[in-house]
Chains A and B, each alone.
Chain A
Amino acid sequence: MVINKRLEKWALLSPALVVLGLVTLVPFVQTLWLSFTDERITAISKPVNWIGLENYIYAITDPDFIEALGRTIYFTLTSVGIEGVLGVAVALLLNQKFPGRNVLRFLIILPWAVPTIVNAIMWRLIYHPEYGALNSFLWQMGIIPDYQSWLGTPGRALNMIIFADIWKNFPLVVYISLAALQTVPMDLLQASRIEGAGAWRRFRTITLPWIMGPLLVVLVLRTIEAFRVFDIVYVMTRGGPSDSTKTASFFVYQEYFNYLRSGSGASYAVLLAAISTVLISIYYIGARRQAQG
């Protein structure tokens, strides 16, 4: 009977294990193996040599990769940070009672529903240097003297991409925060108000700690997602101008599919996986703490 139960458990799990094993575990192990070789993607198969840590030594001293990594971290911290602050602020607003609140709660899901690629294209059109709405609007308002090249200026392009990313993803933080806000006990807030605590103090000492758990979980999830950023960059700038928006995933993509260096590319990919593992562990610890309450 016990053995049957155990068998049944694995039988129930087996389809999922097979799919995940074949599509994620096997490729991952192969990437790991590749990263220790000098394999290249070629039409004629050549002997592949085991070269130990050579790829890794090259990777961690490669200034282009370090820069791409730095950009990715900047992208991740800035967009997730602003999404967090904006998301909580909007959630606080939508948690108040005022006419039109429900319509607003309803509408705010729209940016999140827009596909990532459409979002990228929409903002690319808005940022267009000659025909973009942003230029026309700012110029007509007299805010800028001339049309600007928003995505064509090194130093600026990445921030413009971050803005587009925030626009699409902040609703997620709003919905999670709003759900958490609705569980904040009113009597606690009332008591604090009677004791004379101002709005900001009530927020800092009661509301924020109360919603912190779910908020952190969603922000870590967003961090994991933002760290792999590829699609929005691919459509908006293709990594340019002069590599100023080339993120780590994009870097590895080019190493694989433009320069056809699969061995070396794999070592970069494994390094990204290692960083992701750190983020995933943080998520795991946070989610467990959350589950235990």
Chain B
Amino acid sequence: MKISGAKIFVETLIEQGCDVIFGYPGGQVINLFDELYLNQDRIKHVLTAHEQGASHAADGYARATGKVGVVLATSGPGATNLVTGIATAYLDSIPMVAITGNVPCSLIGRDSFQEVDIVGVTMPITKHNFIVKKVEDLADTIRLAFKIAKSGRPGPVLIDIPKDVQKSVCEFENKPVEEPYPMTKASQKLLEEASKLIAKSKKPYIYCGGGIIAGNASEEVQKLADKIDSPIGCSMMGISAIPTDNERFLGMQGMHGHYASSIAENEADLIIACGARFSDRATGDKSKFAKNAKIIHIDVDNAELQKNIPVYLGINGDIKDALARLIELVQEKKNPKWTERVNQLKKEEKDMTVNPDSNALTPFNIIDIINKNITEDTIITTDVGQHQMWAAQRCTFSKPRKFISSGGLGTMGFGMGASIGANFATGNKVVLYTGDGSFGMNLNELATAVTNNTPMVIVIMNNGVLGMVRQWQTLFFDKHYSNTTLERKTDFVKLAEAFGAKGYRVFTTDELEEVFPKAFAENAPVVIDCAVDCNEFVLPMLPPGGSIDDIITQVGGDF
């Protein structure tokens, strides 16, 4: 039987296992939305306040589950509003399918109303993209988009569907979902070489990135660490891959990483990088990075090997399989002196972590209170800035996919959409750490959260400034606080109420201790506006382009 492109769109999404899509209607997608209306019992559409929010929601959905997130927007401004969300997913290797409507084929190229060449615009920020000009190609294009998005190193794919294609009809038949393209398997010879390097090493350090989460290899990393007696560090994208209470886990390394993790990485004689890409935020000055170590780099993306840092041994392949085989190859060993040194570093770190007045509402006190009151299934999301780094340093996790944060692109305004998406994907409660700056970017999605009774607590670390930039201005720009002092009069409690949510303002830890459990118990969004001192710094800090020798562990003086 012949059916319309719009119906093919819905049927193929359902065939591909998609249960929720996030989006916003518009002139060139009315046909698609009509089919969503007719099939609302089979596929849920979540209406956001803005297409950017929808794109982050699809991203959050994907990060929380590993499934492909789907976002739908109209042509022109609808499509361009997705760009930041697509780029965010691209930089963090998140599987996403973005679908846009476009003007009918006959009007393309004539600067028609709400026409934009979104395929051209998104070419550098997608794994691949398509414009479908014949309805006969639509179903297979959607199938291929899902396949590309989830294969190998995942990423976003965009499909642009002109309106006449949505209206045209053709034959349609469901097909079984295809497996992703097979991943390269690591070469046995290279794994053997890696095991020899490990045998010789006295000070190994395992460095995990987001690839451990995407590749579902948390257990393998921990088994390897146990067998070769190695500490484990991670990039920001690797957070939640390893349980915080694993004694070998030193936490995030890099620009705002844990002291012990960054120092141990620098002193190591062998770094085993797994699914990480040595971003500039993780390495600082590359010429001085980990000068004492040989580096083994295992990654599913061959192009990452030797890209950002020269490595001694690059191994291309599926990380889970590679680690499992490496574990078989390596000899069990102990590195007592190294363990002793790492423990000493941990102690130094503990000693230098300031324990302020217990009742002061410092970022770490806020996070500690929340850590106590949430469950292991709670998803932590963040926006971008100081609060993000504090959360990255201080939140505790016992399962992967519980920390959702924009790493590569550093997208302020990511958190609201991502939280909504993560909740729709899992049903789990969400705590969003945000700042007054980041929250201001996409707080419109509070409307979406209220409509959908999204059980989330929005914790605003409100310091009245754009804290991260201000921190750089303090340290490197002679305290020229150019445009980082917000001087706004926003009342976040009233704002929450205006959106139909509850809002609280807290000034002390006692108040937070009282308010947070109530907020967390709600099955709806709640805003907690936490008054934080604007002179709180994210420490330690490796200055941009600096090395471990330049590490800043404390900042003195008046600000």
A and B are interacting partners: no
Which B residues have a C-beta under 8 Å from some C-beta of A?
none
Which A residues have a C-beta under 8 Å from some C-beta of B?
none
